[in-house]
Structure 1
Amino acid sequence: MRGISHKYNETVTAPKGKTFQNRIRVTTRVYPGSNTDTVLSQSRTCAQCGTGIMGRSDKRYCSDQCRYLANNAAKQQSQGERRVQQVNAALKRNRSILRQLSPQGKTTLPRQYLELAGFDFRYLTQIYRTQKENTYHLCYD
């Protein structure tokens, strides 16, 4: 007959002489005709750095830093995410050019000035046409 016993609490001395309860699950399996085998449930490893993980059973990373690094790496590999970042960078660049050429914010500028400054007319957030057939290109306004 096989039996399993669990030991959950173990007292560990922490820095500065304080003690705390370290919850390590130790599982002991006993099989007929074999020696007692002790298995630590800390066999899970961090998906980012490979160190052992303590805590919840569904925990995938050992720390917040590893979780951030893994999620950022996944975002960088995603083609859709890279495209969104490229478009956002172009919009920010256009907004910066508008801010430099028009410090008051409501100035009308000729298209040639914007083209010389490097404004990319493919990336806009809004195009506004007046009744007098004037066209305004806007970024984040």
Structure 2
Amino acid sequence: MRPLYSVPLGIAATGAACLAYSVGYEVRSFRLRRVEVPVLPRGARPIRVLQVSDIHMVSGQGRKQRWLQSLAGLRPDLVVNTGDNLSDPEGVPATLDALGPLMDFPGVYVFGSNDYYGPARKNPARYLQAMRTGSHGMNNA
């Protein structure tokens, strides 16, 4: 009888651990990575490019807003925002406030899917059903 329950319990425990990690740590883990790319001629002044991506802002994320505002202190030469700034329409004012200090620097913006379409919950079972019926198109997932 034990093997009958061990697999589903193991799957449930793994899912619970992943959920706890994503809610408890990942959502509050902001990262700044520094990378040097030696493409300029020797002696040329370095160019500091700040890429901001996948903010997924919702209202009430004050800590995230303050962290994003602090990035202006890096004094970048160029800001590149590669989208997915929103995860909730109510997060628009918070996103504008958070990114406001970066507007003092030259920059470019590339839309992400969450910037075109409002995020929507998707049922992962629909993907499995599509695989079972043989319709693997992206629109069917």
Higher strand share: 1
Higher relative contact order (CA 8 A, sep 6+): 2
TM (normalized to structure 2)? Answer: 0.20
Structure (1 or 2) with the larger CA radius of gyration: 1
